[in-house]
């Protein structure tokens, strides 16, 4: 059995090297968005408690950050909690929020965030979150607001339609104050009032969804107009480095026409 495991690990390393050589020959996506889906189904498939799936999924994010840095992905946007997720049972919502607070605290204390100059920003209706999480997110954003080497966006209590509604409301207020003339409203003006307005490259080049589902579920509806989509069957806790590499390779093989 041990020899078989060694053989399998050796094959995995060779395949990883092969993929690395392939994706290294073409331009990597500047901005990747990932819908982290399948934690509960993964736990169920292994006869684990639901909370175990959420924890394994959260720990996988830590690995993902390492891989994205290795492949020089400048911007990463993670869909970790939707508005609809907050409508789940009170017990599950509490499990989720307690875990997120724990992982956000770890993130705040992570020296690599400062070493790699990663600006972190929360995208969503933060007023729907507990005070402790909201205050922690504000602390993290404040501590990293001057960084511009890499960007990590956490879509939490997020809804794509509500993001657009919030942007429109902000524009309407400026119109009423005489700061914007209605005839001057353009797609660029709208983009400047979305949650992603701080990013140098707000539109994801590539959006990945795990678990086999093939829909956006409201994720970055405006920004994803010309994104490339890759849907994979793997549940999020099982997501591997080679899965990321293969999605990057798929992206690189596509010809992006942007509607032309």
Per-position DSSP letters for 187-228, written without gaps between them: HHHHHTTSTTTT-SS-S-SEEEE-TT--S-TTTTTTTTTT-E
Q: N- to C-terminal Cα distance for the chain?
A: 55
Q: How far apart are CA 49 and CA 103, in angstroms?
A: 19
Instruction: Please indicate whether residue 39 is annotated as part of the active site.
Output: no
Task: Name the catalytic one among 3, 21, 72, 85.
Answer: 85
Of 37, 39, 153, 205, catalytic: 37
Report the relative pairing of strands 31-35 and 118-123 from DSSP bridges: unpaired
**Residue 228 near residue 207, CB atoms below 8 Å:** yes
Is 37 labeled as catalytic in the residue annotation?
yes
What residues contact 18, with CB distance under 8 A and at least 6 apart? none
- Cβ-contact 233, 203 below 8 angstroms: no
- Could you list the beta-strand ranges (E) of 109-194: 118-123, 150-158
Would you please indicate which residues are annotated as catalytic (active-site) residues?
Answer: 37, 85
């Amino acid at each position: 059995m041990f020899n078989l495991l060694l053989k399998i690990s050796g094959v995995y390393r060779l395949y990883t090297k092969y993929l690395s050589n392939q994706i290294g020959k073409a331009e990597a996506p500047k901005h990747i968005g990932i819908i982290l889906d399948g934690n509960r189904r993964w736990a169920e498939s292994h006869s684990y408690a639901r909370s175990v799936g959420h924890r394994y999924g959260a720990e996988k994010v830590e690995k993902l950050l390492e891989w994205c840095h290795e492949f020089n992905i400048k911007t990463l946007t993670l869909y970790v909690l939707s508005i609809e997720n907050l409508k789940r049972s009170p017990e599950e919502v509490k499990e989720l929020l307690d875990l997120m607070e724990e992982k956000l605290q770890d993130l705040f204390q992570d020296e690599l965030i400062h070493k790699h100059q990663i600006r972190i920003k929360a995208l969503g209706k933060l007023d729907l979150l507990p005070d402790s999480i909201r205050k922690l997110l504000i602390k993290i954003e404040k501590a990293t607001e001057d960084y511009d080497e890499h960007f990590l966006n956490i879509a939490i209590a997020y809804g794509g339609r509500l993001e657009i509604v919030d942007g429109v409301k902000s524009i309407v207020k400026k119109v009423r104050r005489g700061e914007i003339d209605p005839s001057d409203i353009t797609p660029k003006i709208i983009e400047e009032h979305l949650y992603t307005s701080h990013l140098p490259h707000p539109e994801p080049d590539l959006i990945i969804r795990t678990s086999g589902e093939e829909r956006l579920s409201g994720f970055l509806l405006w920004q994803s107009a010309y994104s490339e989509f890759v849907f994979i069957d793997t549940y999020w806790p099982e997501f591997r480095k080679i899965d990321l590499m293969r999605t990057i390779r798929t992206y690189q093989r596509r010809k992006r026409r942007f509607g032309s």
